[in-house]
Amino acid sequence: MAQAVRAGEISPSELIEAAIAQADTLNPALNAIVSERYALARQEACERDFRDLPFAGVPIFVKDLGQDMAGLKSTSGSRLLKDYVAQKSIILVERLEALGFIILGNTNTPEFGFKNISDSSSNGIVNLPLDHDRNAGGSSGGSAALVAAGVVPLAAASDGGGSIRIPASFNGLIGLKPSRGRIPTGPDSYRGWQGASVHFALTKSVRDTKTLLYNLQDCQMESPFPLPLLSKEEVFETKAQGLKIALLGSDYEGQPLSDDLLKALAKTKASLIDLGHQVVEIDAFPLDMTRVMQDYYFMNAAETAAMFDGIESAIGRSVTKDDMEVMTWAIYQAGQSLKAKDYSKVLTAWDLYSVQMHAFHEEFDLLLTPTTFAKAPLHGQLTPDPDVMAQLANAEMFSNREQLQLVWDMFDKGLALNPYTPLANLTGQPAISLPLYSLEEKYPQGMQFMAAKGREDLLLALAQAFEDAGLLTVKTNLV
């Protein structure tokens, strides 16, 4: 699209009108769009100078969570903020515009991004384009659905525990979670979820993934996590040659995988060997994932309590149970009584996890796991059991220890679906989900590759090799 615009073969206005027409036709069945700015986008298409911009005139949507654009509603999937309009744009959005993108609106997400599916009670559920009885995934489910349905060629997304990679797996897309510090943050928040949450996009081609990463990256010396820039040669010319890849064929509790997943891993292993790589099957994960997830939920609860303090200050009143979903209320309550010294210990543990994974990657270039452990779930499939929901609704009545256990129980079904995606968020490593398999010869199944911090070049090189060999099964236009 951008090349055609730069060559004068098509106008930005034509691209925008085509995307809007697709959105008007397909979104009623998807429910992927929260709000739009079509009139302003049309004006930009006519008035902006797109010469020499890498994504000249390309239509895009941003996520309705942490990707504020001045003048556009920013609800975070919540009833509390359902009418909030952003007063200024974050640096990421400004950079997207500077690259030539024309932003059409924002995409549906679960309330405050807490789930691995998109089913906000305020904005509704996002349907998987391939099967409307199933969820498109979360928390970037709206973005994934629009790309998979062919409304836009890529869409902005973010990942705090797998929220790019999970919907990429369900929708048959490429989902890269960059290293901590790779993508610009600010101007008001520089350490989303203590650096666990990062921004990027869901894409359909390795070319677009590379081009976006190279042009969007920044070494922000003013931020808490500055990272040296990747060179053009590293992004576009690195070759995946003779990599040593660890393959993990069990879940986080050490239980064997389903037959379908074992077949998917076997096929991926065979493809890797054909491409000239060494694959070593390992019996156990290098970290105690139960401890890792306990620390992850502790952080999540603490950050949620802090977030609501800020919201209360902005709206001038205390928030109540009626302001949010039951699951959000439980996380909020769990964070109210946490001790600062315990949070300090958790963050220290994060650093040690990073050290352990650094040592792991001195032996192995990459770690391979399934991105998700089943096909996209049916709507309601991951809802906690009624007795758990009843306790969550009254979370304020429990001790802090019991509240944290409730949060664990609340996410039990969801964690079983993607047990290994949050690790890269805590350690700051890059990870990518590639569409390499189909379940039941229909539903996409992503394979996750994780590299050492700062080594997106290896992930992109491997993705390029898979794409060149015709092994990526990107799904598009599925409505």
250 is catalytic: no
Domain ranges of the chain: 1-238
User: What is the pLDDT, as a whole number, of residue 477?
Assistant: 54
| CA–CA separation, 59 and 351 (whole Å) | 39
CB atoms within 10 A of CB 36: 19
User: Which amino acid is located at 50 in the chain?
Assistant: F
Query: Of these residues, 139, 143, 169, 197, which one is catalytic?
Result: 139
Query: Of these residues, 140, 163, 169, 179, which one is catalytic?
Result: 163
Query: Of these residues, 63, 177, 375, 453, which one is catalytic?
Result: 63
CATH fold for the domain made of 1-238: Amidase signature (AS) enzymes (3.90.1300)
User: What is the pLDDT, as a whole number, of residue 255?
Assistant: 82
Q: Per-residue pLDDT tens, the chain, 479 aa: give them.
A: 999 999 999 999 999 999 999 999 999 999 999 999 999 999 999 999 999 999 999 999 999 999 999 999 999 999 999 999 999 999 999 999 999 999 999 999 999 999 999 999 999 999 999 999 999 999 999 999 999 999 999 999 999 999 999 999 999 999 999 999 999 999 999 999 999 999 999 999 999 999 999 999 999 999 999 999 999 999 999 999 999 999 998 888 888 899 999 999 999 999 999 999 999 999 888 899 999 999 999 999 999 999 999 999 999 999 999 999 999 999 999 999 999 999 999 999 999 999 999 999 999 999 999 999 999 999 999 999 999 999 999 999 999 999 999 999 999 999 999 999 999 999 999 999 999 999 999 999 999 999 999 999 999 999 999 999 999 988 665 44
* Secondary element (H or E) of residue 432: strand 431-439
139 is catalytic: yes
345 is catalytic: no
Report the Cα–Cα distance between both ends of the chain, in Å, rounded. 22
Please enumerate in sequence order all residues whose Cβ is within 8 A of that of 191, keeping only pairs 6 or more positions apart, or say none: 185, 224, 225
| CA–CA separation, 99 and 88 (whole Å) | 18
Specify whether the CB–CB gap between 199 and 96 falls below 8 A: no
156: exposed, middle or buried (Cβ count in 10 Å: 0-12, 13-18, 19+): buried
User: What is the pLDDT, as a whole number, of residue 479?
Assistant: 44
36-39-44 Cα angle (round to 5): 105
